[in-house]
Amino acid sequence: MTGYDGEGTIPPGGLVDSFRDYRKRVYGSASLGRFFGQGLLLTLFSCLPTIAGTVLRGYLYRMILGGLGRKCLVEKNIRFFNSARLLIGDRVFLGESGLFDVGGSADKITIGSDSHIARSVTIRTQLGEVAIGEKVNIGANSFIYGYGDIEIGDNTLIANQVEIIGGDHTFDDVTRPMRFQGRSSSRIVIGEDVWIGTQAIIVGGVTIGKGAVIGAGAVVNRDIEEYAVAVGVPARVVRSRKSSEYQ
């Protein structure tokens, strides 16, 4: 399952090879035991409705995740790719229809205690680690994609439909399609106590300092210092939270 960087999502090999590649990609192992065991657990419980299902999954999913802390609430229809490399702290809420995908050469995804991941959030990494701190709120329909490490500090607020995207495509050779030219990795660091407004976009190579505010719809393609308020496309600093003067 090479996706958009290869010949296609479905590999050209035979059925046996394709099935083995699928097990490695989705379950992190070619083991048939893991394939059938995790598949059975998800079939029976992933869609179980009401708060009873949400609470029950918070216990049962400890059998398939790399770590799942105490008193977690896990809503229905959540998909996991390579779930053994997803580590979740205590009292974390995972909203309905989320996707958590540790693929490629990625390390892991970690979510700190008391964090809230709203519905239909996608967190993917293909290289490096996505590390989400404690007491972080990620709003509905947000998209986090790591091709390189992504670090989100404690107490950060991320509104709905925010995109945080690390890495970039190489496109120097005009004689070849860009999808075959590879990618470059880049790191994103979002400090503690940051507020990111709805539909903002954070691109690779950016550091957002502690206590900064990013306005709705902003595109952040350069570093933002601590306690700055930044708005616009591309984002520019208009004032500091430590001062009432606008720039």
Counting as low any pLDDT under 70, the low residues of the chain are: 1-11, 104-105, 244-247
Positions marked catalytic:
169
- Per-residue pLDDT of 102-148, as tens digits, reads 986 678 999 999 999 999 999 999 888 999 999 999 999 999 999 99
- Domains annotated for the chain, with CATH where assigned, are 57-240 (2.160.10.10)
Burial class of residue 9 in the structure, from the number of CB atoms within 10 Å of its CB (0-12 exposed, 13-18 middle, 19+ buried): exposed
pLDDT at residue 182, as a whole number: 85
pLDDT at residue 165, as a whole number: 96
Burial class of residue 140 in the structure, from the number of CB atoms within 10 Å of its CB (0-12 exposed, 13-18 middle, 19+ buried): middle
pLDDT at residue 247, as a whole number: 64
- Per-residue pLDDT of 66-90, as tens digits, reads 999 999 999 999 999 999 999 999 9
pLDDT at residue 146, as a whole number: 93
